[in-house]
Amino acid sequence: MGTLYVVATPIGNLEDITLRALRVLREADLLLAEDTRRTRILLDRYEIRKRPVSLHAHNEAARCEQVLAALREDRCVALVSDAGTPLVSDPGERLVEAALADEHAVVAVPGASAVLAALAVSGLPVGPFTFLGFLPRRARARDDRLAAFRDRPETLVVFESPRRLAATLRALLDALGDRPGCVARELTKRHEEVVRGSLSELVERFSEGARGEVVVVVGGAEPRAADSRATPQGAAAFDARIRALLHAGWSPREIAAELSRETRTPKRELYARSVELRDET
């Protein structure tokens, strides 16, 4: 039986490669890379004379049989992604599953991780934390995903593209309230930037997006007392607050946005109740 090595590579600075990773890459009979051109830069830097074979989201299923054939010949296969640890929002899960099902050894060669690097410099609690990867692109699916973590205490880590950073920060603010957060951009690279602040401050700071690879870290929910609407008296007081805002000329949409930040209640629920009370009057 062969061995599949899952090899972490630098997320920016090529000096972050480990000695063990270099040895495995040199000794591998077959080297799989998400983008062979990017991996070639690393290989050339350390004079590793290997020709990487592509394995990405569009060909992973077809590539598995080729890899399994090599493993059945007791060969050594190394898997790398464009940067960081493979399988973390990158291809490779199907290959690892197939290798294990075929009873081959799967061995991790740990190293750089954008998730852990961002957590380490964020200034926020690192344990427990939840990695959400890239959030869904559709607004409804994204909001539903975030709603599940509205009352959870763990720190959240999110990957995002620079083009969607502004929209994602706004969605985090609307869904979770104005929590402390951190935007870590271009980690370990020449233009590395780490910006810490409240989500509202980060929304303003990155209103026009950003450049480069981005990791967003958000603090968990603060412990809070039971929902103030859990009793009839609490519900009446909550409705009174909505009525007061309506009387002051606020729209249901504005009320929903404001009270969602204060109470971490879903905006859809607050909007619906505001409309009901407005119509009653």
Query: Phi and psi dihedrals of 61, rounded to 5?
Result: -60, -45
Shared-domain flag, residues 91 and 104: yes
Indicate whether 249 and 149 sit together in one domain.
no
Distance set, CA 68 to CA 62, 84, 90, 94, 224 (Å): 11, 24, 20, 12, 52
Cα 36 from Cα 172, distance rounded (Å): 35
Q: What is the CATH number of the domain that holds 166?
A: 3.30.950.10
| Per-residue pLDDT tens over the stretch 9-58 | 999 999 999 999 999 999 999 999 999 999 999 999 999 999 999 999 89
- Give the pLDDT confidence score for residue 229 in this predicted structure: 60
Three-state DSSP class for residue 272? helix
Global pTM reads 0.77
Per-residue confidence (pLDDT) for residue 118, from 0 to 100: 97
Residue 135 is encoded by which pair of tokens? Answer: 């959030």
Of the candidates 190, 218, 246, which is a domain's last residue?
218
CATH for 105: 3.40.1010.10
Neighbours of 48 (CB within 10 A): 17
Dist CA 43 CA 50 (whole Å): 7
Q: Is residue 259 a part of any domain in this protein? A: yes
| Sheet order of strands, 180-185 included | 129-134, 155-160, 214-218, 180-185, 193-198
Say yes or no: 92 and 16 in one domain: yes
Residues of the chain with pLDDT under 50: 225-226
Instruction: Answer with the one of 170, 186, 218 that is the final residue of a domain.
Output: 218
Range of the domain at 24: 3-112
Number of domains in the chain: 3
Domain boundary among 89, 112, 135: 112
The verdict on residue 227 lying in a domain is no
pLDDT at position 227? 56
Q: Please state whether beta strands 180-185 and 193-198 pair in parallel, antiparallel, or not at all (unpaired).
A: antiparallel
